[in-house]
Structure 1
């Protein structure tokens, strides 16, 4: 147990003092722009000799990439933190646009380089990446080369990158701006208050159903007021993406997200098939939860309702101590990392007005530090979220000494590390419960996340798949977006709910993120994949940490199928692994159903 009290506000001044007005940050951007221009010039002046002579020049370009990318990522992470901590920071929005522009130039140069790599003969290419100088980067370099073969010409791809600044990424930025203005009305202590969407969302975990229902009604109205603007935003964002796909000859909208996640379509299809075949047990949990709450059927606003009437809160300090203590049971390095994050103020957790909704972890590569953002209000879910984001941070920590190009791991394996950390804490909470009622409450909180990852995320995937197919034929109206979402939710939840959330497409940031398309299925993959890792960790005990770190180090330089084969000895395209993973989830539900049988 620590003696000092951890701060709930992060320290960003250690990077660039003065926030969005920082002179040091302006200088950082100037240096970033210079490095990108140097990289562009070096790419444009290279004419591959189609021989081993290319190795030296390629090494020089890789140095350019690493220098530019680290500075760009440092800047992007810093601005993301500024925008999250204060959605009214107008100067940060301006800087965000500047970084987007710089990134477009950088991506265009990368695209040009990738196309140059395709001009090298296959036999010569294998000799180049087999050299001692480049062998460590063989996977990522070959991956870039192969992906370039499926894109347009150098000039066309450069034009796309240039147009993305105002024709694509700006729509995602507009979404952030709209959301920053949304307020949700609630009543607290008899007074009417206007909360940010982040603060209002925490009310869905209230023990009082009337509070949840009222907040949900006002929540729907608040998002409904902005629905036309948000529908236009989503349509133009997706329209740009589909236009690019069409020009490249890509008919399947999943081609890019699967490629980004280094994942085969068969793996994705097998995962969803196994989940769908096992959903009846999740439905039984939802039915039992409704009975315990004294209602016929749960509604959307009941999904995060806690079990029982225990309104006790876990202080931020208590939550931090609990995480540190249980990370230590798994491994010393993970515990030491968490302690450093708390002590050095890497975490923004304060519950206050003006913050963005949700939570995230971002990495600042030049500083080799992470920053974690969330709004902590003392619920068990908040503790789980905190552990989840620390898991992301530990992933970056484990890879900190690798070549920068080998640190670009995909979202699906990123969610593996975070979910693994979350499970350590969730399992410990259940095992340390003081009595049966507390155990049930903690089991319920744990199962809620299973429902979210196997049903909510499935609804998002179904919605986005159907929306993109309709968007190919023209703009999709607000009413139709609501219909598609409602249908997706009913299917994903097996019609188990009374009332749904048709405006979920508007309230969920993930549909508007431009950096990564289909920001949904990787969560479910990461959750179930981490269960396989977690099962091994339980078998082997504390000594498993080094094996776990070895797996994390490989996440940036392997397909997920190869990663699973090497570290878990399983085939992800077959049902067996997924069935075992889902069965672990079902064990929690069976225990919950058993303990509540006579309640």
Structure 2
């Protein structure tokens, strides 16, 4: 009997023929022509034009139209290269779109120059224009950010130099890791594993396998450590120099600004977590006992507890998700049904797909597409709910102007984690056996450990690395000391063995697009947990508040968002403590269920 819901997505509804699509070819050609025309137009604009409000309205309409079309093309190409990693034509299209995006960005730099040069009185009048007032937040944000940077010619020069400077160090890191191999003995044979293949063995149920692969991987990182330290040092040096020329004192300025949050909110969140995290040492002790070891080491933290290997069918998972979305809001369930029945989801378990999962949006079509590989595990069901949460977030914003649909990374995880929480709680409640319930609870507590401890270690390390990098290059030995100190502090000295080469192994430290690619995850997780707690308290009445909050995520700071829709102050500890208490309740339930009889 066939599946009720398709396991493969429909991309032909956008452009028939995949990477060979003549229709997509024409779409890209028209887009290239229009971007070129817009670039010429922006180059010809002078300072006087900035007081012509009709022209401003036309410019913002063009910007939103081009952004939307670039988003449509990007989403289509991302789907193509993900569903078939050997689609060479799709990779060529990706390169072509990358150039197009760079050209559009150059024209936006010209727009920023005009925005910055406008006098305050004219600017205030512009934002009061009824046609532009809905865009006041993103336009004002662009003006402030432009004012805080170097003159546009210098920013353009820095951008050009960064291709073979800043970004090149990130590319070099990827090249080094891509060619690395980890020799690992399996039976009588020694296999040369890629870093990804070796990392997968860290989730083996056998401790001797985890321990062996952990040490083999560290030996591999050690062999490349001098080069990887150079990458990290020069990335950090470029960033610090650029910040210095812009007159920025704090390395947190850019990531906080990108995430539209204050340093006070970030500090308060980490303080609340730090005050509560010792509770999770009880989880470490219990897990060590269940694994038959005296104390967990780094490679045991995410080890599976062999409690439940029950699998679920795709149709069953889909119906379960819709049923429990409906308990919260029938509109959310109706949206999920649309995604399942109209083939928005690529879930087939087959070779040739890229790993992982994501949700991408097609702005021109007001549709999303979800990518994952469904093999029937509880984790797969959670991922499916998570990605549907992302898609629902976009769905409730589709009728808003394109410029106010851009929400930051920290709130991007709100709707996804919220949807996942609905399904995780329902799964625990409906678990057929005690073992199943333990397995599901352990998964929830494990996520808290990742956000409260693992990511905190990354944040502490990165903060301290930049402090030392200001004074000069940081040696391999010192990087190892800094990361182990951060791990010991973040994990409350709760582990037996730490990871001295984590600074080398974590791609996030080498990403140039978003600095400090760590704390937004913890914020998103805990912010969403707090919102979920309010939803449980207030019941069906909260559903509309939730939609209203999601709709504002692209046009407010997180502090204003929380104050307006939740009536809470994120710079104070109360909201964060309430969210942590919900997680502690899961921990208590896990400890109760795993007590020795």
Q: Same fold (TM over 0.5)?
A: yes
Aligned counterparts of 2:375 and 2:463: Cα–Cα separation in 1: 34
Pick the aligned partner of 2:523 from 525, 531, 541.
525
Is the CA contact (8 Å cut-off) linking 1:260 and 1:410 kept in structure 2?
yes
Match of 1:41 in 2: 40
User: Is the Cα contact below 8 Å between 2:49 and 2:55 reproduced in 1?
Assistant: no
**Aligned residue for 1:514?**
512
Is 2:53 the partner of 1:31? no
Deviations 1:269-295 (A, max 9, x none): 110011111111011211121112211
| Separation in 1, partners of 2:339, 2:279 | 38
Partner deviation per Cα, 1:445-469 (whole Å, 9 max, x = no partner)? 1100111111111112112222333
Question: Whole-Å Cα distance in 2 between the matches of residues 79 and 468 of structure 1?
Answer: 36
Q: Any idea what the Cα deviations from partners look like across 1:319-372, whole Å, max 9, x if unmatched?
A: 333322222222222223333333444334455555545433222222323233
2:451 corresponding residue in structure 1:
453
Query: CA 1:579–1:309 in 2, change beyond 3 Å: closer, same or farther?
Result: closer
Distance 1:205 1:13, change over 3 A: farther
CA spacing shift, 1:119–1:371, aligned 2, 3 Å:
same
Aligned-pair CA distance for 1:30: 3.1
Out of 511-520 and 25-34, give the one that drifted further.
Answer: 25-34
Q: 1:102 — aligned with what? A: 100
Q: 1:278 is paired with a residue of what secondary structure?
A: helix
Alignment root-mean-square deviation, CA: 3.1
Partner residue of 1:341? 339
CA shift at 1:122, angstroms?
A: 1.7
Judge conservation of contact 1:50–1:120 (CA < 8 Å) in 2.
no
Distance 1:11 1:506, change over 3 A: farther
Q: Distance in 2 between matches of 1:46 and 1:228?
A: 49
Counting only pairs closer than 5 Å after superposition, residues 342-421 of structure 1 correspond to structure 2 as 342-351=340-349, 355-421=353-419
C-alpha separation in 2, matches of 1:506 and 1:295 = 28
TM-score by length of 2: 0.90
Uncovered stretches (5+) of structure 1, i.e. residues with no partner: none
| 1:163 equivalent in alignment to 2:153 | no
Contact 1:372 1:390 in 2 (8 A): yes
The whole-number CA distance in structure 2 between the counterparts of 1:115 and 1:578 is: 40
- The normalised TM-score by structure 1 is 0.90
Counterpart in the other structure of 2:76: 78
CA positional deviation for 1:101: 3.2
> 1:510/1:550 Cα in 2 relative to 1: closer, same or farther (>3 Å)?
same
Equivalent residue in structure 2 for 1:209, among 207, 229, 242: 207
CA 1:12–1:303: 2 relative to 1, 3 Å: farther
Q: How does 1:1-400 map to 2 (within 5 A)?
A: 4-17=3-16, 19-20=18-19, 22-49=21-48, 53-87=51-85, 92-173=90-171, 201=199, 203-217=201-215, 219-220=217-218, 230-351=228-349, 355-400=353-398
Give the count of matched residue pairs: 597
Q: Could you tell me how far apart the structure 1 residues matched to 2:69 and 2:560 are?
A: 31
> What does the per-residue CA deviation read over 1:240-259, in whole Å, with 9 as the maximum and x for residues that have no partner?
33332222121211101111
Task: State the shift of 1:203 in Å.
Answer: 4.8
Distance 1:26 1:135 in 2: 36
Identify the residue that residue 533 of structure 2 maps to in structure 1. 535
Distance in 2 (alpha carbons) for counterparts of 1:346 and 1:221: 43
| Separation in 2, partners of 1:305, 1:209 | 8
- Change in Cα spacing, 1:545 to 1:500, as seen in structure 2 (3 Å) is same
Measured after TM superposition, the shift of residue 21 of structure 1 is 5.2
| d(CA) in 2 for partners of 1:322, 1:108 | 47
> Equivalent residue of 2:534, what SS?
helix
Structure 1 residue 154: Cα displacement: 1.8
Q: CA deviation at 1:90?
A: 5.3
Offset at residue 544 of structure 1 (A): 2.8
Residue of structure 1 aligned with 2:581, choices 579, 583, 588: 583
What is the rounded CA distance, in whole Å, between the counterparts of 1:211 and 1:14 in structure 2? 46
Distance 1:119 1:24, change over 3 A: same
The 3 A distance-change label for structure 1 pair 320 and 182 is farther
Q: 1:328 to 1:222 in 2, by over 3 A?
A: farther
Q: How much has 1:580 moved relative to structure 2?
A: 1.2
Structure 2 CA distance, aligned partners of 1:472 and 1:70?
40
1:50–1:124 CA contact under 8 A, matched in 2: no
In the alignment, structure 2 segments of 5+ residues that lack a partner are none
Shift of 1:397: 1.4
Any conservation in 2 of the 1:100–1:165 contact (CA below 8 Å)? no
Q: Cα distance, 1:142 vs. partner?
A: 0.8
SS of 1:361's partner is strand
- Report if the CA contact (8 A) 2:413-2:525 is conserved: yes
* SS in structure 1 of the partner of residue 368 of structure 2: strand
Q: 1-side partners of 2:170 and 2:421: how far apart?
A: 32
Deviations 1:409-454 (A, max 9, x none): 0111111111111111111111112233322221111100111111
The answer to whether the 8 Å contact 1:288/1:593 transfers is yes
